[in-house]
A and B are shown apart, each in its own frame.
Chain A
Amino acid sequence: MASASSLIGATGVSAVSDWVGFENDGQVRLCCGKVELGQGILTAIAQLGAAVLDVGADRIAVVSGHTGRTPNEGYTGSSMSVELSGLAVLRATVTARRLLLARAADLMDVDPAALSVEDGSISSERSNLVFDYWQLARSTDLSANVDDSIGWDSAEAAGVPIGSSIPRIDLQNKICGGGFIHDIDLPDMLHARVLKPPSFTARLVSLDRDALAERFPDARLCIDGSFVGIVSDREYDAVQALELARTLAQWRDDAPLPSVENWPDFLRRQRAVTVTSEHGEAPAATGARKLSATYSKPLIAHASMGPSCGLAHWQDGKLTVWSSSQGVFNLRNAIAQALAISPDGVTVIHAHGAGCYGHNGADDAAMEAALLARVFSPRPVRVQWTREDELGWSPFGSPMVVEIEAEMDADDRIANWVANVWSGTHVRRPGFLPGLVDFVATSQLATPIPFSDPSTNPYAFVGSDRNAEPLYDIAHLRIDRHHLPDLPFRLSSLRALGGFANVFALESFMDELADAAGCDPVEFRLRHLSDRRACQVIERVALVADWQAASDTGEGRAKGLAFARYKNTAAYAAIVAEVEIEDTIRLISLVGAVDAGLVINPDGVLNQIEGGAIQAASWTLMEEVTFDSRMVTSTSWSSYPILTFAQAPRTHFEIVGGSENDPLGVGEASQGPTAAAIANAVARALGFRIRDLPINRRQLLQAISQSSPG
């Protein structure tokens, strides 16, 4: 069985030349299995490689996410890219540098320690000879193995001037008209749209092909079971033909969607498989102060700015696919399995999409393109999802309920913490494991490949344990995770996975405990933290946000603080939110401090932390997928509103900590703390607490009618 780490990182021994090459004079090829999602990983990798090799960053040509040309580093996700890919590139470039310098030392008859390198040129005070990497590479065997004993503490890593920010290598192109998968034009390309059914389980009964052909004689149809693909030479023809086809299709609905009054009641009634983890001894009954609360989070959407796009070309028995998938090797395997061909006959090439934040429709668009490319071979096919497709058919972030009960001792220290977490799956990605196909299109074919049962995937519910255990020093912890495999929605990975709801819940609860103990929320957290780095980010954010230990509640304007170390292993983040409540909840500011260990590109880190916080603010204040008995109803920007420029907070974010620690992933670190910081600020401003996301006007009015202030 594949280990979790092999799903996210490269495994086994590799050759230096798999990662680094000097084939083109003056240019350094740097290969990377991780892909650009907008998080800046390719820039960080380029900067790291340039620093290790002592070449100008503009000499680095990054090749990423190509099943024919780069190492397989599994998925780009879980905030592991710098930790894993960064380490892999560090090892490969350090090994390459050592090999090339050894060759130079040989030719120059000096000790390697006497060499100095400047922009790829190697010289020594003890020799008149000068060589460059490209000359040396011709007589150096770079097929040697990468030395995987090299770590971040290696001499080469210690000496490199990382920690300064080079600009994003892809940004300028993207603001001058290029750069996205949506922009790829292949010769003789067909434009495609896929008619999605009116519900998740509907089956096609009939489609009036004649009526469609009469209005759009140049459009061609591919109907296989309930899969309906429309292609045309001209994109707008395909767009219009899709809308006409929608009116010409007859469907038979299958299972209706359930009615959900509230998520706590609904999720608790579902069939569950429970996993328990426990640390320490339950304290004897002491009559100590007990507190409990229940928190919930609804279905939320990726809501990518750019609806998914996939391209494919089938020729001479070989399939080439372009996708913005987070896992090109996994996607290749899933497509090959779906088409019953060998993976050797499929090449998947990553092209940049809009921000996806996890598993959105990208893999599906690729599969749809592959199906249509085979039918309409030899013409390449470009599939573009509509906005309705993207908001209705991308997997969602699972609804979750978290119930926490805690006891404090006579010193107001938490002695016992018992949590129950209810959650659907957080991963059902195509090709996640061999045998898991999991595309929308293949589930609709005349000979369908049904979606896998989450119970059969040992990793399906791993996401719900992210931050289920608080980092705080608590003598006894018991977490019961109730995995719900039967939820009738398409669920998969969304940024922070279960960590978003878990941190929202636990950090809201920490404030409730602090209140019960009559203690300031900052002081209460510090009291329970022996982790020095955790204390540091909390103290820093409190300082920068001008946290007042004694502040009035119920005055309509207040600050709230929250902290988490993502997964208890990645970056540390502390956030202070300030809100003002009149007839709506206005988010005035977000202030944050992050400890990410050794930082390659500080601005990249700040951009990710701030972006994640603003996105999480949108999730917290506004977002919930809506649905009726048939289908998702929040399929437009007006029915699924997200934070606007008018609503965006002022921001200030800082990096704390030094480079003596290994790098830590930041991509998901600010999501959970932002939700709780906002919830805590709202509770202080109102004088009572809202525990169900989103914290919007409806929740506000409901909470007012159900509770009394003070």
Chain B
Amino acid sequence: MTAGLTELNVNGRAVELAAESGTPLLYVLRNDLGLKGTRFGCGSGECGACMVLVDGAAEMSCQLPLSSVKGKDIQTIEGLAVDGRLSAVQQAVIDHQAGQCAYCLSGIIMAAEALLKANPSPSEEDVRQGLSRNLCRCGIHARIIAAVLSVAESKG
């Protein structure tokens, strides 16, 4: 485990990190970069709360050692809004009030962003499958599915 610098791109900004190369990206984002929106849910890749986009694909940041994302483009929940304007998925979550405790939502929103990028017109079944790695305990599932489908419909 070396302590050299790791270069990557986070939310459009080039960063150099001195953290140990085996440190999971989750802790690097939260502690070294102060980006708290990526959440700790289990640390074992089973809940999706820590999902971020790595070169556009939704990945669990708790499972990614820093060395594995060297040179990659990382997008977190903080990187979605542009000039203060929420992304379509974020806005749909607000419009549908698709949140209770909201702890699961960062990960779910990142998964939805990746889903819609790969499949701009998903069916309800596609959305359920696209969120298959994300858990929610408060029971917001139906509202989230409706919110994501509404984004697909407005674009289609």
Contacts and interface: CB of A to CB of B under 8 A. Distances in A.
Contacts of B30: 235
B137 A637 contact: no
A450 interface: no
A288 B101 CA distance: 50
Given A167-B94, A183-B36, A305-B47, A645 B132 contact: yes
A637 B47 contact: yes
A645 B134 contact: yes
B34 interface: yes
Nearest to A589: B142
A486 B31 CA distance: 44
B31 A355 contact: no
30 contacts: A38-B99, A38-B101, A165-B97, A167-B94, A171-B94, A174-B99, A175-B93, A175-B106, A176-B81, A177-B36, A177-B106, A179-B102, A235-B31, A236-B23, A305-B104, A305-B138, A306-B41, A307-B42, A354-B101, A355-B101, A387-B43, A387-B46, A387-B47, A610-B142, A614-B141, A615-B138, A638-B46, A642-B135, A646-B128, A646-B132
A679 interface: no
A643 interface: yes
A613 B139 contact: yes
The SS class assigned to the A binding surface is loop
A447 interface: no
A355 B137 contact: yes
B64 interface: no
Interface stretch (A132-140, A263-271, A510-518, A647-655): A647-655
Interface in B103-156: 103-106, 109, 127-129, 131-132, 134-145
A168 B43 contact: no
A424 B1 CA distance: 49
Contacts of A470: none
Contacts of A306: 39-41, 49, 101, 103
A607 B97 contact: yes
B117 to A, nearest CB: 18
A352 B103 CA distance: 10
B19 to A, nearest CB: 8
B36 to A, nearest CB: 4
B47 to A, nearest CB: 6
Nearest to B24: A236
Given A171-B99, A642-B137, A305 B49 contact: yes
A416 interface: no
Contacts of A644: 132, 135
B147 to A, nearest CB: 11
A645 B19 CA distance: 35
B103 A354 contact: yes
Contact of B40 (A182, A352, A353): A182
A472 interface: no
A175 B94 contact: yes
B119 to A, nearest CB: 15
A177 B134 CA distance: 18
A170 B31 CA distance: 23
B100 interface: yes
Contact of A387 (B37, B41, B142): B41
> Top 4 A-B pairs ranked by shortest CB distance?
A38-B101, A177-B37, A614-B139, A648-B141
Contacts of A178: 36-37
B76 interface: yes
A546 to B, nearest CB: 19
B57 interface: no
Nearest to A179: B102
Interface string B53-85: 000000000000000000000001110010000
Contact of B128 (A167, A612, A615, A648): A648
A613 B20 CA distance: 44
A615 B137 contact: yes
A384 interface: yes
B78 A168 contact: no
Contacts of A377: none
Contacts of B138: 38, 305, 355, 611, 615
Contacts of B135: 305, 637, 642, 644
Contacts of A353: 101, 103
Interface in A349-367: 352-355
Contacts of B101: 37-38, 305-306, 352-355
Contact of B90 (A175, A387, A636): A175
A38 B100 contact: yes
A304 interface: yes
A620 interface: no
A176 B37 contact: yes
Nearest to A165: B97
A164 interface: no
B102 A614 contact: no
Given A176-B37, A354-B101, A636 B93 contact: no
A304 B42 CA distance: 10
Contacts of B44: 387, 636-637
Contacts of B128: 645-646, 648
Nearest to A178: B36
A293 B18 CA distance: 65
B43 A386 contact: yes
Interface in A335-385: 352-355, 384
A41 B78 CA distance: 26
Contacts of A167: 94, 97
A610 B36 contact: no
Contact of A637 (B35, B46, B90, B102): B46
A72 interface: no
